[in-house]
Amino acid sequence: MPKPGLPLAGIRVAEFCHVVMGPTCGLVLADLGAEVIKVEPLEGDHTRKLVASGAGFFPTYNRNKKSFAVDLKAPEGREAVLKLVVSADVLTENFRLGAMDKLGFGYDALRRLRPELIYCSMKGFLAGPYEHRTGLDEVVQMMGGLAYMTGGRYGPLRAGASVNDVMGGMFGAIAILAALHQRAATGKGQYVQSALFENNAFLVAQHMMEGLASGKPVPPMPDRTRAWAIYDNFKTRDNELVFVGVVTDTQWKIFCDAFGLADLLADPALATNPQRVEARPRILPIVTEIFGRMAKQELMDRCEALGLPFAPIAKPDDLFDDPHLNASGGMTPITLPDGRKTRVPNLPIEMDGVRFGTRLDLPRVGEHTRELLASLGYGADAVNALVTRRIVRAA
């Protein structure tokens, strides 16, 4: 059971989810202390078996959960899951439209048995002309303007992470938390939703508003005019890249003083940020030449001492050894299905100085089936019979 004192301790969640969006929602709730029960088929959630770019999905989004492996096609399996749902505070699902209704676990059926249930569906689209379409992160990035904004002159290009899936799961969790708060006042559950396309629209809203504000077509990110004169990747003496930004008038003065650019600082034509943006063709060659004489670490050390924004250009696997993540509780331990021990990034939040980490390792298929059936009133003989008849699977 969740440790006492965690924010969502005592909340039980039945999770009917796979891939990224639904499991992300469950991960947020689980890390915050909810008892999240992953209902999966006897062979296990198919996400466990994904390869290539999908190989990281299961280990990233399924810690702190319990596995209940059951055959939902069998009447006894559906009966056991129904008992589980009736005991739950929250149900989450991200299967195709209508799939849960066919199984008998749609919201209209369940709310009659459990009026307090908060039922969260995460789909490709909310209500509207597109709601019956199959939605994927890449689909909505293409149709929702994000791929256009990312690719620019290179053509439409999806973002380098499952941004809509992850944020769609986060917004699902936000809706659930809001519904739990309302339930505390009303005693009633409700149906809540989040979706990929609407999430994508929320992400690109800043560009929609930029177009209105400027009265001009919005250029994609690779083709954009920077909002600041210095806001670029620069090549160093050792042929490495470092991003450096100078984004305020105060930083401009610090930068010019530190790098011997008194003439630029004194130039009235460069007194304001809009003026400096217009003068980028003049400023950038000077800065590029200065930074090109410095080694990568030397440049980063100088920027850090000056308080200027900077960043090395990291690859994902570099983060395993990132000193900040590893010193600040940013990584949490897990055991991969093949037995290897590793660490995965934690929830990016802190509450009262506390980070949330791994309480339960990645579950084996059916690892908690016996425990959960016992909590639902099944005796040992009844559980053994269900296992023998392959109605459920117990690890």
Over residues 227-237, the pLDDT tens digits come to 899 999 999 99
CB atoms within 10 A of CB 252: 22
Residues 264 and 346 in one domain: no
Of the residues 45, 71, 137, 165, only one is catalytic, namely: 165
Residues 260 and 347 in one domain: no
Q: Which of 133, 135, 15, 121 is nearest to 68 (CA)?
A: 15
Domain of residue 252 covers 226-315
Please provide the DSSP assignment of 31-54 as one string: HTT-EEEEEE-TT--GGGG--GGG
Residues 44 and 164 in one domain: yes
Residues 269 and 159 in one domain: no
Residues 142 and 50 in one domain: yes
- Any idea what the CATH number is for the domain that residue 68 is in? 3.40.50.10540
Residues 166 and 239 in one domain: no
Residues 341 and 192 in one domain: yes
Please provide the DSSP assignment of 288-310 as one string: HHHHHTS-HHHHHHHHHHHT--E
Q: What's the one-letter identity of residue 42? A: L
Residue 2 predicted with pLDDT over 80: no
Residue pair 395/367 in contact (Cβ under 8 Å)? The answer is: yes
Residues 6+ apart with CB under 8 A from 346: 31, 329, 330, 331, 332, 355, 356, 357
Stretch among 81-95, 212-226, 243-257 having the lowest mean pLDDT: 212-226
Q: What is the pLDDT of residues 313-348, one digit of tens each?
A: 999 999 999 999 999 899 999 999 999 999 999 999
Residue 4 lies in a domain: no
Q: What is the DSSP letter of 153?
A: G
Residue pair 26/13 in contact (Cβ under 8 Å)? The answer is: yes
Residue 368 lies in a domain: yes
Stretch among 188-192, 220-224, 253-257, 286-290 having the lowest mean pLDDT: 220-224
Check residue 90 and give its pLDDT: 98
Q: What's the one-letter identity of residue 383? A: V
Residue 133 predicted with pLDDT over 60: yes
Residue pair 362/59 in contact (Cβ under 8 Å)? The answer is: yes
Residues 83 and 53 in one domain: yes
Q: What is the pLDDT of residues 155-207, one digit of tens each?
A: 999 999 999 999 999 999 999 999 999 999 999 999 999 999 999 999 999 99
Residue 321 lies in a domain: no
Domain boundary among 315, 345, 367: 315
How far apart are alpha carbons 298 and 306 in whole angstroms?
Answer: 12
* 165 tagged catalytic: yes
| Mean pLDDT calculated for residue range 141-166 | 96
Residue 194 lies in a domain: yes
Structure-block tokens of residue 58: 């299961």
Residue 210 lies in a domain: no
Residues 80 and 187 in one domain: yes
Structure-block tokens of residue 152: 């620019």
Residue 358 predicted with pLDDT over 50: yes
- Report percent pLDDT > 70 for the chain: 99
Domain boundary among 294, 315, 336: 315
| Mean pLDDT calculated for residue range 90-109 | 96
CA-to-CA dists, residue 341 to 282, 349, 364, angstroms: 52, 24, 15
Residue pair 347/357 in contact (Cβ under 8 Å)? The answer is: no
Check residue 5 and give its pLDDT: 86
Residue 278 lies in a domain: yes
Domain boundary among 260, 289, 315: 315
Number of domains in the chain: 2
Residues 65 and 191 in one domain: yes
Task: For residue 104, name the pLDDT band (cuts at 50, 70, 90).
Answer: very high
Residue 5 lies in a domain: no
Check residue 225 and give its pLDDT: 82
Task: For residue 102, name the pLDDT band (cuts at 50, 70, 90).
Answer: very high
Q: What is the pLDDT of residues 247-271, one digit of tens each?
A: 999 999 999 999 999 999 999 999 9
Residue 93 lies in a domain: yes
Task: For residue 3, name the pLDDT band (cuts at 50, 70, 90).
Answer: very low
Stretch among 63-67, 84-88, 353-357, 390-394 having the lowest mean pLDDT: 353-357
Check residue 224 and give its pLDDT: 85
Q: What is the pLDDT of residues 24-73, one digit of tens each?
A: 999 999 999 999 999 999 999 999 999 999 999 999 999 999 999 999 99
| Mean pLDDT calculated for residue range 240-249 | 98
Residues 337 and 258 in one domain: no
Reported as type and span, the H/E element at residue 331 is: strand 331-335
Q: What is the mean pLDDT of the chain?
A: 96
- Any idea what the CATH number is for the domain that residue 253 is in? 3.30.1540.10
- pTM over 0.85? The answer is yes
| Mean pLDDT calculated for residue range 193-222 | 96
How far apart are alpha carbons 221 and 212 in whole angstroms?
Answer: 17
Check residue 1 and give its pLDDT: 40
Residue 4 predicted with pLDDT over 80: no
Residues 164 and 255 in one domain: no
